[in-house]
Amino acid sequence: MEQKEPKGERVRKVTSDKSNSKIDQFIVENINKYSVSSSTISKRIVELDKMWDIERILEINMSVISLTGIALSIFVNVYWLILPCIVLLFFVQHAIQGWCPPIPIFRSFKVRTRPEIDREKYALKALRGDFAGIESNEPYQAFNAVRKI
């Protein structure tokens, strides 16, 4: 039986090492920034729970572009139907490969996958003391501890 990779990890696999490193560094910086007090960590965890991941951003982006193409085809010219067709092909490509042309653009803006957001969240929870047996006050060590999640 084929091992299924966690949701969101396919995007990370097809992202350049440079972008992944920048995002990892961004996560470590956030962990360091928000680990000043338990209340600051709690507020950040609430923000992270509400944060949109790359999948959600791709969905809304592709929907808006498709609807725009349909509207333009109705009110301007029928050839605007090419736009939603291209976008839907990108969506199919993303579903099959985990990659599509907008991903590098979004990743360059440090848009994260759900597992990446969760790594920050669980590292902050570890620093707050939510998990027994983890005795790390170092943000980078906490981040490494949750990389396997």
List pLDDT tens digits, range 102-141.
Answer: 999 999 999 999 999 999 999 999 888 887 655 556 677 6
* Domain parsing of the chain, residue ranges: 9-146
pTM: 0.82
Proportion of the chain above pLDDT 90, given as a percent: 73
Contact at 8 Å (CB) between 113 and 21?
no
The string of pLDDT tens digits covering residues 75-90 is 999 999 999 999 999 9
Nearest to 27 by CA among 110, 127, 107, 106: 110
CB atoms within 10 A of CB 132: 6
From CA 112, how far away is CA 126, in angstroms rounded? Answer: 20
Structure tokens belonging to residue 44 = 């950040």
CB atoms within 10 A of CB 116: 23
Say which residues have a Cβ less than 8 Å from residue 90's Cβ, sequence separation at least 6: 62, 100, 101, 102
